[in-house]
Amino acid sequence: MAYLSRNPAPIPTPVRIGLIGSGWMGAFHAESIARRVPDAVLAAIADPNLESAEALAKSLGTAKVTASADDILADPEIDAVIIASPARFHAALISQAAAAGKHVFCEKPAGQGLDELDAALTAVEAAGVHFQIGFNRRYAADFQAAKKDLAAGIAGQPQLLRSLTRDPGNGSIPNAARVPAWTIFLETLIHDFDTLNWFNEGAEPVGVYAVADALVEPALRDQGFLDTAVVTVRYSNGAIAVAEANFSALYGYDVRGEVFGSKGMVQAGRSTETAARRYTAEGLAADTPRLNVELFRDAYTDELADFTAVVRARRDGTPPPSADFTLTPGAADARRALAVALACIESVKQGGPVAVPAATKAGV
Amino acid sequence: MAYLSRNPAPIPTPVRIGLIGSGWMGAFHAESIARRVPDAVLAAIADPNLESAEALAKSLGTAKVTASADDILADPEIDAVIIASPARFHAALISQAAAAGKHVFCEKPAGQGLDELDAALTAVEAAGVHFQIGFNRRYAADFQAAKKDLAAGIAGQPQLLRSLTRDPGNGSIPNAARVPAWTIFLETLIHDFDTLNWFNEGAEPVGVYAVADALVEPALRDQGFLDTAVVTVRYSNGAIAVAEANFSALYGYDVRGEVFGSKGMVQAGRSTETAARRYTAEGLAADTPRLNVELFRDAYTDELADFTAVVRARRDGTPPPSADFTLTPGAADARRALAVALACIESVKQGGPVAVPAATKAGV
Amino acid sequence: MAYLSRNPAPIPTPVRIGLIGSGWMGAFHAESIARRVPDAVLAAIADPNLESAEALAKSLGTAKVTASADDILADPEIDAVIIASPARFHAALISQAAAAGKHVFCEKPAGQGLDELDAALTAVEAAGVHFQIGFNRRYAADFQAAKKDLAAGIAGQPQLLRSLTRDPGNGSIPNAARVPAWTIFLETLIHDFDTLNWFNEGAEPVGVYAVADALVEPALRDQGFLDTAVVTVRYSNGAIAVAEANFSALYGYDVRGEVFGSKGMVQAGRSTETAARRYTAEGLAADTPRLNVELFRDAYTDELADFTAVVRARRDGTPPPSADFTLTPGAADARRALAVALACIESVKQGGPVAVPAATKAGV
Amino acid sequence: MAYLSRNPAPIPTPVRIGLIGSGWMGAFHAESIARRVPDAVLAAIADPNLESAEALAKSLGTAKVTASADDILADPEIDAVIIASPARFHAALISQAAAAGKHVFCEKPAGQGLDELDAALTAVEAAGVHFQIGFNRRYAADFQAAKKDLAAGIAGQPQLLRSLTRDPGNGSIPNAARVPAWTIFLETLIHDFDTLNWFNEGAEPVGVYAVADALVEPALRDQGFLDTAVVTVRYSNGAIAVAEANFSALYGYDVRGEVFGSKGMVQAGRSTETAARRYTAEGLAADTPRLNVELFRDAYTDELADFTAVVRARRDGTPPPSADFTLTPGAADARRALAVALACIESVKQGGPVAVPAATKAGV
């Protein structure tokens, strides 16, 4: 053997991440960390459902397992946590993680009410930890390209905006009866509200009018379950935005954004799975993205890679990543989008337009 | 000379059309009739502005000219009229033309209030003449293809609809101060309302919420001039529709429609002038349609060809044209779209959602 | 009656056109003239098959009929002729028409050999009549847009070109056994050769290598019938072009052009019938153009409108139409494309590359 | 601390890869292995240019370094090698690696002549090691989608094929004078030949006609440097294919494939960087892919992930990966594509069509 050297450079310590919640989203984030984010390691998994946590750990072959998030928060070998528990626990977990000095990546929504969210964000601020929310569209290549164009002034002053989310489906909603009634606003359209806020950066959402109905599952209308919604959002700069969602698109997963302004328009949204096309006696055809992990696979990876890079920069004193435009969604973004979602619920209840409470509070 | 025969078949008498109003729209219709609709002739032009009428007649080399529409209505050689006067005269002219036994093609809106429109449509019905309104998008090839797909059930039960109109512009609105305040609803969005009603055939618009502002020309806001609007329309079948308009798109003329339903989605709207593409150091580029006559030239011709064919069938007892789907926009369509537009004006005044009065009245 | 005037302007005499040949193409041109070109009238039809001519005249309700083209050429009321007979008669008819002082629009190819074509074009030149050949792609909107970009230098110096034609079909070729063996070069690819020559304006085709086979109808290979071909064309400016044809595309009519050069690329070719799109559980779909009259309807009209305008300008001394780029295909274009087609036949026979004889001769 | 377990599953030994050649391509593969292929580790780097190897090792923080490939081949801790040296060393290195029992991933071409390649592939066969060649397009999502459609018979029997490569450039070719004259066939078009062979699976290339020139850098024509080429390939099933290449596309990296057959057409090729679009006063615009790592980043990763998976399955006795269609390019593919490339060189020299020697030899 005549190798010149072995390991010429010290291997930098990867960012050690603890996962809280091993459901579908948590498991996907775990896999991203373990296999697609080279600078991070999945150090531990916490889930009250230990079987779920153990199965995930086994499939990835790497992590410590516990039933209690407390173990992760107390573990000095953990740099940061991914919170992917049910939404009702988010705000409290953020507070606890911040108090334990862990950097926080939290799935949306960061809270279910402004009060609990403000408490959590105050804890984050007090602890000085990094906070990022899972608004993954900011990391989709086409949404970033659109944002870059907007930041460069291509569309001019925004006047009309649109963001829509149509989840893939087959005409019914599995277990719909068990999904919380306001999910369409708090968990789905909150993505669109962030997209609109991000695309219309510098303006604040000031009022909304929301219409929602159970059109996919009319039988659930009486239980208050809503699967289709359209929201008009007014902004402080006069721009008028529309957000739209539906829980069952038979052609797959459809997520689009559009900004029209004084100088032009930018659009984001990918309607086909690849650039391949086929032409037959039936005409032109192409495959559409069927799953959110088909449409946003790279975005899911990149949001965690960005989180990892920022945490590493904080921990090791290295330079943080940078972009030509606002990218990482943080505390103010989480609060602003939630404020819009909550106003929508109020609008549906009242049957008319309602104001959005000051979306940013002092210090956030 | 050894021709076997001369004129072996009798030339059918073309449909003889009188034009009322020789402004921009009237002049374009006149040219379509004279040069692009072989079964019709432009027989006469009436305009109080005689110079305008004479110039148009001269350019087309064919028509009789008068300052008074009465002359056209009294002319037994005229089969039908095209009403392209200012909108405030539409309803009265429809009534008069019907009373004179003339078939009527009227530019939108057919009236400015439901009462005057109902009176006009009652006259049409009493006279038994054919009535068509200038909702030209029904004749655009891509909108027809979408409608055909909808009629075939491709999208299933409609749940979400969208129609938008962005007029070409350069960032300001010439003579905006002289345009009536509610033009955006009565003359622009009325197209979109018809598109939505047509695409959601079988359902009635039941309520609207309209937001409008002066974003292109903020200086005119105080005079009530609106250049940007977003409207949410609820339908009797639960479908939620959005109509959107703006008076100054720097990239050209942008008209699109979209229907999402229980089985899929159909879209209409042409974003480039032709299929040509260019690739340079700047990337991919293509020309966008700049003028409404670029985007709708064939539609303008085809709506008049359809009108001509129906009038001819009525006059000569020949079979009328047919299609696989509802096509010709008539009295009920004119009224339904106007009802939505008027409700929008009320919604803006009230700042909240309002009901659309029963859009079809008995007998229409 | 109080009309101010009747027919205030003298109606200009339309261009009076005689049709020679009432087969499919002739009938379509006749309909274009009679119904879609307002400045022309179809004055007479000649066809040895009198029944065909009479049926066409009857359907259009206008024309004189004869079995002999001589009657049309001798008719002083005829300004110009459209030659749509079988190709083997083209060159002789051009000569006779020119000698009779008629302007000539001739379907492609203008002749089947360079000698007979040169004789015809010499007659045209001697008579001073206008000559146009039916290279309709020059009038397709997207091909014109591409040409305009090329004329503006968007692609820089051409290096690689492509033109393809795939005829709509269902996997077999009706009456293929009766179609002349070299049709694919003389009647189909001759369009592509003109497109390439036009797109690479200023350069001459200097050599070709052609490969052809019977892939759609292998049973006809022994009879020499070719339904699939690929041609490499070298140009005097070094550019390398590929022309490709096939007689049976199940997805419809596919015609495309592409020029790559030192500064970029331009593309022409329309792959869908309209801008409408549908999304279902099967993915994205759109209709493709099925017939040549779907793909080139406007081009067929516009080539005759251009012909009519030039003839009228010649006859009446009015200004001819103009464009930002070379448009009307004339004698030199007819000859250049034919020279390439004939060289292809030689290349197939020899199984190797062959030179293209000087494509333009003195005086043409 | 109360974790239930630590590392519940044994971590499988990753595939240990040695890199031979640390130039641009080698460095990129090294980064892919180190950061984007979780089941592989970059164990060592060999390059006679030790500085280059050390810099790469340092940037990735992981590998042993040597000036001699022999060290890697002798290292029992190495499972497989990536050969990314200059092409003239490929065949010999394949033979040596195989003799040392290492699985081989080799950049294209696998050899510069059929004799040396056959010797290498014989060694591979004798050693029973896995061999893969770097035809990365097989791993591009749109090319895979097209192949899947072809395997499903969507296009029917292939009749016309096209594959093109236009490298990104700015109108000149850096260091062109130092690039071997036949690079366009041996290193660029060889990709296209493999694409055509793969798309037309089951048929053999039997003859070629190649035209090539120095159109980007005419000054280098006399030195035999070719930057633009068009190749016609005949296949044993009658299909006619065209491959095209150019070394300087100002709009970026352009790679496309198309198969037309008895039932339809499939196309691959991505013309824009993302799905984002911008509309301004200039019209529609979008960014084009500028670099090969923009266009093929995922393909570069996936070809190595596939290689890793196969090597691991061989080593550990686990099931190999599978697909609905032929995927991994191996010995026969390397030979078949090289045979076409070499025939092209002969065709250019002779100025006429030449036969392709039996592309597969016994045992390969």
Q: Are the beta carbons of D262 and D237 closer than 8 angstroms?
A: no
Residue of C250, C271, C284 lying closest to A280 (CB–CB): C250
**Count of pairs with CB atoms under 8 A, one residue in B, one in D:** 57
Residue C34 touches partner B, C-beta closer than 8 Å: yes
Does the pLDDT at position D363 exceed 50? no
What residues of A are in contact with residue B230 (Cβ under 8 Å)?
A: 160, 232, 240, 242
Residue D88 touches partner A, C-beta closer than 8 Å: no
Residue D361's pLDDT is: 56
Inter-chain residue contact B8 with C141, CB threshold 8 Å: no
Does the pLDDT at position D111 exceed 70? yes
CA angle C1, C3, C7 (to 5 degrees): 130
User: What global pTM score does this model have?
Assistant: 0.96
- Of D87, D107, D91, D114, the closest CA to residue D356 belongs to D114
Contact residues for D222 (Cβ-Cβ < 8 A; gap 6+)? none
Rounded to an integer, the average pLDDT of A319-330 is 92
Largest CA distance in chain B: 78
Distance from CA of A265 to the nearest CA of D (A): 5
Q: What are the DSSP E strand ranges found in chain C?
A: 15-20, 40-46, 64-66, 80-83, 103-106, 131-133, 158-168, 205-213, 228-235, 240-249, 254-261, 265-268, 277-280, 283-286, 354-355
Q: Are the beta carbons of A249 and B265 closer than 8 angstroms?
A: yes
Inter-chain residue contact C209 with D209, CB threshold 8 Å: yes
Inter-chain residue contact C285 with A285, CB threshold 8 Å: yes
Residue C88 touches partner B, C-beta closer than 8 Å: no
CB contacts under 8 A, A 248-277 vs B, are: 248-251, 254, 260, 262-265
* Alpha helices per DSSP H over C154-226: 183, 189-199
- The span from the CA of B105 to the CA of B117, in Å, is 14
Summarize pLDDT for C29-44 with one digit per residue, the tens. 999 999 999 999 999 9
Inter-chain residue contact C146 with B11, CB threshold 8 Å: no
Residue of D159, D218, D230 lying closest to C228 (CB–CB): D159
pLDDT above 70 coverage of chain C, percent: 96
**Count of pairs with CB atoms under 8 A, one residue in A, one in C:** 57
Of C230 and B10, more confident: C230
Q: Are the beta carbons of D158 and D102 closer than 8 angstroms?
A: no
What residues of B are in contact with residue D281 (Cβ under 8 Å)?
A: 170, 250-251
- The span from the CA of C109 to the CA of C133, in Å, is 8
Contact residues for C176 (Cβ-Cβ < 8 A; gap 6+)? C217, C220, C225, C227, C247
Residue C5's pLDDT is: 61
What residues of D are in contact with residue A71 (Cβ under 8 Å)?
A: 1-3
Summarize pLDDT for B245-257 with one digit per residue, the tens. 999 999 999 999 9
Closest-CA residue of chain A to C290 = A283
Q: Are the beta carbons of B229 and B204 closer than 8 angstroms?
A: no
Q: Are the beta carbons of B178 and B197 closer than 8 angstroms?
A: no
Closest-CA residue of chain D to A61 = D9
Q: Are the beta carbons of B259 and B200 closer than 8 angstroms?
A: yes
Closest-CA residue of chain D to C262 = D171
Summarize pLDDT for B52-63 with one digit per residue, the tens. 999 999 999 877
Residue of A251, A271, A279 lying closest to C251 (CB–CB): A279
Residue D293's pLDDT is: 76
pLDDT above 90 coverage of chain D, percent: 85
Identify the sign of the CA torsion D331, D332, D333, D337.
positive
Phi/psi at A356 (nearest 5 deg)?
A: -95, 125
pLDDT above 90 coverage of chain C, percent: 85
What residues of C are in contact with residue D262 (Cβ under 8 Å)?
A: 171, 215-216, 248, 250
Confidence of residue B363 (pLDDT cuts 50, 70, 90): very low
Rounded to an integer, the average pLDDT of A3-25 is 81
Residue of D64, D155, D274 lying closest to A6 (CB–CB): D64
Mean pLDDT of chain A: 94
Contact residues for C317 (Cβ-Cβ < 8 A; gap 6+)? none
- The span from the CA of D311 to the CA of D93, in Å, is 18
Rounded to an integer, the average pLDDT of B201-221 is 96
Q: Are the beta carbons of B103 and B314 closer than 8 angstroms?
A: yes
Q: What is the DSSP letter of D319?
A: P
What residues of A are in contact with residue B260 (Cβ under 8 Å)?
A: 166, 246, 249
Residue A281 touches partner C, C-beta closer than 8 Å: yes
β C40-46/B64-66 pair status: unpaired
What residues of A are in contact with residue C271 (Cβ under 8 Å)?
A: 279, 284
Inter-chain residue contact D160 with C244, CB threshold 8 Å: yes
Inter-chain residue contact C276 with B265, CB threshold 8 Å: no
Residue of C38, C64, C264 lying closest to B279 (CB–CB): C264
What residues of B are in contact with residue C275 (Cβ under 8 Å)?
A: 141-142, 268-271
Confidence of residue A361 (pLDDT cuts 50, 70, 90): low
**Count of pairs with CB atoms under 8 A, one residue in A, one in B:** 95
What residues of B are in contact with residue A352 (Cβ under 8 Å)?
A: 352-353
Distance from CA of C108 to the nearest CA of A (A): 29
Rounded to an integer, the average pLDDT of A88-100 is 98
Closest-CA residue of chain B to A164 = B160
Residue of D75, D154, D278 lying closest to A264 (CB–CB): D278
Does the pLDDT at position C49 exceed 70? yes
What residues of A are in contact with residue D273 (Cβ under 8 Å)?
A: 141, 145
Closest-CA residue of chain D to B289 = D283
Residue C60, Cβ density class (10 Å: 0-12 exposed, 13-18 middle, ≥19 buried): buried
Residue A362's pLDDT is: 45
Closest-CA residue of chain A to D42 = A7
Residue A364's pLDDT is: 42
Q: What SS3 string covers chain B? A: CCCCECCCCCCCCCEEEEEECCCHHHHHHHHHHHHHCCCEEEEEEECCCHHHHHHHHHHHCCCEEECCHHHHHHCCCCCEEEECCCHHHHHHHHHHHHHCCCEEEECCCCCCCHHHHHHHHHHHHHHCCCEEECCHHHHCHHHHHHHHHHHCCCCCCEEEEEEEEEEECCCCCCCHHHCCCCHHHHHHHHHHHHHHHHHCCCCCEEEEEEEEECCCCHHHHHHCCCCEEEEEEEECCCCEEEEEEEEEECCCCEEEEEEEECCCEEEECCCCCCCCEEEECCEEEECCCCCHHHHHHHHHHHHHHHHHHHHHHHHHCCCCCCCCCCCCCCHHHHHHHHHHHHHHHHHHHHCCCEECCCCCCCCC
Rounded to an integer, the average pLDDT of C188-213 is 98
Closest-CA residue of chain B to C271 = B275
Confidence of residue A200 (pLDDT cuts 50, 70, 90): very high
Half-sphere CA count of D139, side-chain side, radius 13 A:
20
Q: Are the beta carbons of B76 and B96 closer than 8 angstroms?
A: no
- The span from the CA of C270 to the CA of A33, in Å, is 45
Residue of C269, C277, C281 lying closest to B267 (CB–CB): C277
Residue of D211, D248, D262 lying closest to C232 (CB–CB): D211
What residues of D are in contact with residue A38 (Cβ under 8 Å)?
A: 34-36
Residue C291 touches partner A, C-beta closer than 8 Å: no
Inter-chain residue contact B286 with D283, CB threshold 8 Å: yes
Residue D232's pLDDT is: 98
Residue C324's pLDDT is: 87
Inter-chain residue contact D271 with B282, CB threshold 8 Å: no
Residue C157 touches partner A, C-beta closer than 8 Å: no
Residue A244 touches partner B, C-beta closer than 8 Å: yes
Does the pLDDT at position A255 exceed 50? yes
What's the token pair of residue C324? 């930002």
| % helix, strand, coil for chain D, step of 5 | 40, 25, 35
Residue B12 touches partner C, C-beta closer than 8 Å: yes
Q: Are the beta carbons of D75 and A1 closer than 8 angstroms?
A: yes
- Return the residue in A37, A148, A277 with the most chain D beta carbons within 10 A, the one to mutate for interface testing: A277
Among B177-186, C103-112, C171-180, C310-319, the range scoring the smallest mean pLDDT is C171-180
Half-sphere CA count of B161, side-chain side, radius 13 A:
32
- The span from the CA of B194 to the CA of C70, in Å, is 56
DSSP states of C214-238: -SS-GGGGGGT---EEEEEEEETTS
What's the residue count for chain B? 364
Type of residue found at B78: I
Question: How many CB atoms lie under 10 A from the CB of residue B114?
Answer: 17
β B80-83/B103-106 pair status: parallel
Summarize pLDDT for A217-251 with one digit per residue, the tens. 999 998 889 999 999 999 999 999 999 999 999 99
